[in-house]
Each structure stands twice: as C-alpha cells, then as structure tokens.
Amino acid sequence: MMKQITGGVCAAQGFTASGVHCGIRKNRSKRDLSLILSETKASAAAVYTSNLVKGAPLAVTKRHIADGTCRAVICNSGNANTCNADGEAVAEETCVLLAKALGIDPSDVAVASTGVIGQPLDITPIAEGIPALTAALKPDGSDEAAEGIMTTDTVKKEIAVEFTLGGKTCRMGGIAKGSGMIHPNLATMLVFITTDAAVSPVLLEKALRADVADSFNMVSVDGDTSTNDMVLVMANGMAGNAPVEEEGENYDVFRTALAAVTKGLCRMIAGDGEGATKLLECTVTGADDEATAKTAAKSVITSSLLKAAMFGADANWGRVLCAIGYSGAKVDPAKIGVSFRSAAGEIKVCENGAGVDFSEEEAKTVLSEKEIVIEVSLGDGPASAAAWGCDLTYEYVKINGDYRT
C-alpha cells in the first residue's frame, strides 16, 4: 500500500531542511543556499552527469560518499562552480565549514551547485550564510530547501510517499531543480531524495541506477546535458525495518516507492521546462524490446519540430514518425500508429504508418491542454516505455539569449 503525502525531503523520519539567501544571487528575495540533514548517518548513493565537463562539487561528493554513507547535503544556486581553477577547493571548504557548524565530519557532507558555468564562486557568502542556514533547519523545511536550489525554475518541485516495508511504515521524499539544460544521461539536473527506510548502500545504488534508466534518463527539455547533474539518495533507516540487503520482495517494494518519487519529479521538471507551456509525455507500446521503445519515445520528445508543433497545437503527426525514423530504433514504419490524448479527449491521427481522417478542429482542442500524451504503437511486441518533455516556445530563446548577462 502506497500513498502520496506532504513533506518533501522532510517527510521521512530524522530529516530536517532549510533554505536561506546568503548573497550569491543578487536578488535578495531569492534563497540561494539549501541544506538537508539526517539525524543519523545514512546510506547514500548517487549518479552523476556523463558530460566530460563536470562541476567541481560532483568530484567532491563522489569522494565523500565513497564509503556509502552521508549525513548532510548543501547546495547553492546562482553559480555552478564549474570550470574554475579553485572549484574543488571551494567545494571542499564549503563542506568543512558546514561540518564544523553541525559538529559532524566533512566527509559526511555532500555538496552541489547550480547556475552559471565558468564564473568563480566566492566562498565568502557561503561562509557567512552557513550559521543562518543551520539555525533555520526544521522538520518542515523542505519547501525552503526546494526554493533555494531553483535557477530558472518557475515552480518548486517536491514530492513524498508513504509505503510499508517489512511491516514498518516508511516514507520517502524528494526535491528537484531543473528547467533548462536538461537532457540527462546517467543522472539529471539536481535531485535530492531522502527516506527513513533501511537499505544497504550497495542495494541503494543498485536501485537508483536501475530507476534512473527509466525515469530521469527519459526526460529532455532542450537536448543539452548539464555539467552539474546529480541524483543523491540518503536512507537513514529510522523507520526500523529490517535492512534491505538483497534483492527480493522488500527490494521490489522499495524500487516501486522510488519510482513513484522519481517519475513524479520527472513530470514536474518536464512541465516546467524553460519557456514551456505544456508537459509532453510520449508512451510507446508494441516494441520488440525495451531499448527500442525507449529510443523511440526519447526521440519523439526531443524533436524540436514536434515540440514546436505542440506549442502551436498543430497535429503534425508526420513529425512523430520522422523522429522515430531517425532515432536508430529498429521499427517497421508500416506498423506505426499515433494518437494524441489530453484532458479534452483523444484523437487518432496515424495508423499502419499512414494518416487517417481526423478533425483538425478537434485535434487543436485536444492539443490546447496543458498536458499532452503522444501515444505511439510500434506493432505487437511486448515492450513499452515512456518519456517526458515539453513544448518549444519563443520564451525559451528569450530566457537563454541573455541567461548570463
């Protein structure tokens, strides 16, 4: 039994969070430094961007959680701390300063940054902000922490679920930031997930890597893989369940809860893409294997032409077939079917690789909703997949035309 609850990263027992303005961002009304703290040492696992150009905090976090444990994660927005000569030193110093304030070991601190690339990060505002940050920690601080990691995001992204594991009630929650430069591979934007379930570090990493392949790796806003992508999960075991240390029923329950959190965040990230007005979901069925289904689905939601058509509520289904055709997926074009679905209804536009008669007026009504599902059938195979994206609008170019200046 699983249900959605409130609380974000503070829903699970033993976690507190906070977010403050320390001065990295010029706008004093925006929080720019966030903290999540576990009352006890937690199992930890993370995945990182595949971009060869990586933010300095990723290297530091990777070293700090190499032993499979973590207690705190600190994240600043407004500066990515990437491509800086002293980047790692600044990230390490951030951990040292926070650890001293909390009375924990610096190696138990994970660190993350997001914002402009190639701009030196001054440690001064962080050092001056840490006392206020730690003082602001509270059991309902997820909202403030979610705000502190935002950059071009227009809405805070947080979710939490409650589930039963080994007869014990467990909770899991997450926050995320991500609006632009989103086309993950192994990870995504920035995502922090907490749970009070007891899971060994080895199984936690296994679950995370398996999940990311079906969740965050199936999201794209603009085709650009960020330099600072990270998904970090902490499991402190305070729910009191017998630790999940091997695959089996309890591991599967944990995987299901993790998927509920990650896919929920995926939809929020895609729907809040820079300049976006619509959330797009492409569901592919009838594929011969999962790899084919994923390749086709991801190609559809990354097509700039398809994204632009969705912005204009234009049922240009040929762009769906075009995207599948160049994706590299091994499909039979003569078997492809396409339908568009939304809260306003569903309309079939293609069957067996060819167009069918449909009402353009009805199609426009369907495609004028905030959430659009592009349903693709590749035949009668057993595999399926889903991917999430957004429409491509004039506003995207405006946002990124002067992002740095």
Q: What is the pLDDT of residues 267-324, one digit of tens each?
A: 999 888 888 999 999 999 999 999 999 999 999 999 999 999 999 999 999 999 999 9
For residue 355, what is the domain's CATH number?
Answer: 3.10.20.340
pTM of the model: 0.92
90 and 18 share one domain? yes
Least confident of 35-39, 203-207, 225-229, 392-396: 225-229
* Amino acid sitting at position 246: E
Phi and psi angles of residue 401, each rounded to the nearest 5 degrees, phi first? -70, -30
167: alpha, beta or left, given left = phi > 0 and alpha = psi -120 to 50?
left
Please say whether the beta carbons of 216 and 306 come within 8 A: no
DSSP-based three-state secondary structure for 370: coil
Question: Does residue 196 share a domain with residue 160?
Answer: yes
Same domain, 256 and 321: no
List the CATH number of the domain containing 72.
Answer: 3.60.70.12
User: CA-CA distance, 354 to 295, in Å (whole number)?
Assistant: 21
Residue % of the chain over a pLDDT of 70:
97
Q: Indicate which residue of 69, 82, 188, 393 is catalytic.
A: 188
Q: How are beta strands 190-195 and 168-177 bridged, if at all?
A: antiparallel
pLDDT band, residue 184 (cuts 50/70/90): low
Q: How high is the pLDDT of residue 9? A: 98
| Number of structural domains found in the chain | 2
- What is the Cα–Cα distance from 301 to 281, expressed in whole angstroms? 7
Confirm if 64 and 70 have CB atoms less than 8 A apart. Answer: yes
Residue with tokens 């060819």: 354
Question: What is the span of the domain harbouring residue 266?
Answer: 2-270
49 is catalytic: no
Q: 196-246: per-residue pLDDT in tens?
A: 999 999 999 999 999 999 999 999 887 776 777 899 999 999 999 999 999
Task: For residues 125 and 123, give the distance between their C-alpha atoms in angstroms, rounded to a whole number.
Answer: 6
DSSP structure class, residue 21? -
139 and 220 in a common domain: yes
State the pLDDT confidence band at 369, using cuts at 50, 70 and 90. Answer: very high
153: amino acid identity, one letter: D
171 and 66 assigned to the same domain: yes
Same domain? 148 vs 62? yes
- The 3-state secondary structure of 308-338 reads HHHHCCCCCCHHHHHHHHCCCCCCCHHHCEE
Give me the sign of the Cα torsion angle 201, 175, 181, 92.
Answer: negative
Using one digit for the tens of pLDDT, what is the confidence trace for 250-265? Answer: 999 999 999 999 999 9
